[in-house]
Chain A
């Protein structure tokens, strides 16, 4: 009896150990799989039978509703729901798709977002996308995800089934460099965004004598972070800055003490970061702990999220962005839409403006196609040429590059966490700044 129990205990030990090893492998494989190549597009098998004026136009929307950034995913879901509401209801505004009820060229069909969980994870997103397609044979298009690694696998699913896909917030340049046939991106990618960050540093040296020479980079280890790091390095050479510390870390870690200690030891002039909300919170709390007073510029994402701006340590953090609420003052039509958003969700659209815009662009393309035929929608996306006057983002327009399907007019700004309550305010380009830049940030002991 005792021997049997001991054997059973040994068996349990082995299973326990195997489980931990399996967790470690899945952790490693998770990282590797995010690097995998996109499979070649297979034969197009349209999922819709192109009926005459369907009552509903279903759009599969992948958001990270679980995983590392579920709160961000919920916010993205709200932005999509809001955009769909704008399309389906008459709104007295010149903004794209507002002055109609539903898709006029499809008999006023209503747009219905069908949500799936992308989990901010390549595997989860792929499975969810497959599931969405198989459960909804009448799916007309796909929208999402948010995390670049997840977007890439969703784009693979779109390629496999020949479904037009639009993305509004994933920023990895790789996504539009893969030669995908069905994938279109409205938002600027990290290459364009990060150029904004380097242009800002160049201007700081030229106009403010900031003396920026040595920089450090810190980034999470999935697609978003690693791709950002590649672009940081490329532009550092181009702009003549020295990267004196290069820190890659695991997303959603328990602490970032060693990362911050290394940054403090390197003592760069500026720290450039690519992090999601949870890690951004940890980093700034740890910056305070170790009294690190070096200016930090984030590649958007966690830096512009409400959770980060809710902590006092976020004050004076800089970030590239597509938009800040103060810019609405110069864009009355966008401000009107933002007021409706605030009424609905209690907060400004802020950085979600580009997701709302991107979803409107997709709906506009379906409307212009006048059909649910994937090829017709794809052609309409390729022919997109939306003027500045109907946008809610501060770009010169929306037009996709015929080869990469990247919006050629997307551009970024630099903003800083200021005021009380803390919000992101535009500080660069200097001529359009909503607030005066605080540089360098006020030291922790003086706050």
Chain B
């Protein structure tokens, strides 16, 4: 029984991290309505920033979080201005292939600059593990999930209680109405890309405490972020945390109780069931 509780706790912690990664994706999808395949590449960039801050300047990854957020915000905004604005004028498939191309350019660019070697940060502030009441927690995962919740809270406050946040939500809900009432859609799109990229960059920086760093590291996390967004409801930020936790817990528990190979299969099966029964997502009205 205690091992099942351990699995649930582990799942919750991973779920928080999935949520933060998916929030950026949901924000971009919700406002700009473009599938961002390069999302994981932005996470990779956050990881490399944290890595070099640590190895070159001795700054812990947790302290690199604000810098990662700023750099990734700027990089995301620039990507939007340079690449995505042109894609939005094209057909839907062009948009999809465009972000896929952005992903390839970033991943292989990183490979050319930093080599494909795996890098691991050692001796960070949160690199060990702790035991609480007979349950084991990786310090890196714990701090990542904690900061993820804080960032998710900040994003929520921003979206609910600031003028820009409300304008972003309005753009996500109904673009035509938003433009009609004078919201600068171009500005909102840029913000969405910037904030979305900053969220996933922060996640990347935090993950360097417990995960290896490599140019193509973002791919698998992007995949779970897509499912998370689909479960929560396309374009909806609310529900992302619940969807992230669901994915984390289902993976951990099915992996422990049934067999490890079933943990991804379980997510696929649930995703297909929800797609058939509630294609609009779990947390979205019809």
Contacts and interface: CB of A to CB of B under 8 A. Distances in A.
B251 interface: yes
A-side interface size class: 35 or more
A258 B252 contact: yes
Given A1-B176, A17-B275, A20-B226, A312 B259 contact: no
Given A20-B227, A254-B221, A307-B117, A259 B260 contact: yes
B259 A247 contact: yes
Interface in A252-298: 252-259, 261-262, 265, 277-278, 281-282, 285-286, 288-291
A73 B116 contact: yes
B160 interface: no
A190 to B, nearest CB: 20
B221 A311 contact: no
A5 B227 contact: no
A248 B260 contact: yes
A74 B116 contact: yes
Interface string B97-113: 00000000000100100
B52 interface: no
A21 B272 CA distance: 8
A249 interface: yes
A221 interface: yes
B252 A257 contact: yes
Contacts of B3: 261, 265
Contacts of B92: 11-12, 15
Contacts of B226: 16, 19-20, 23
A250 B219 CA distance: 14
A21 B96 CA distance: 15
Interface string B212-231: 10111000110110110010
B252 A248 contact: no
Interface of B: 3, 6-7, 10, 14, 29, 33, 35, 92, 96, 108, 111, 115-120, 122, 128-129, 131, 136-138, 174-176, 210-212, 214-216, 220-221, 223-224, 226-227, 230, 234-235, 251-256, 259-261, 263-264, 268, 271-272, 275, 279-280
Interface of A: 1-2, 5, 9, 11-13, 15-17, 19-21, 23-24, 65-67, 70-71, 73-74, 221, 247-250, 252-259, 261-262, 265, 277-278, 281-282, 285-286, 288-291, 307, 310-312
Given A20-B223, A258-B10, 6 more contacts: A13-B280, A71-B117, A250-B264, A257-B7, A289-B136, A307-B120
26 contacts: A11-B92, A12-B234, A15-B92, A17-B275, A20-B271, A21-B275, A24-B268, A66-B108, A70-B214, A70-B215, A71-B116, A74-B115, A74-B116, A221-B261, A247-B259, A254-B220, A254-B224, A258-B7, A258-B256, A261-B3, A261-B10, A262-B256, A277-B118, A281-B212, A289-B136, A289-B138
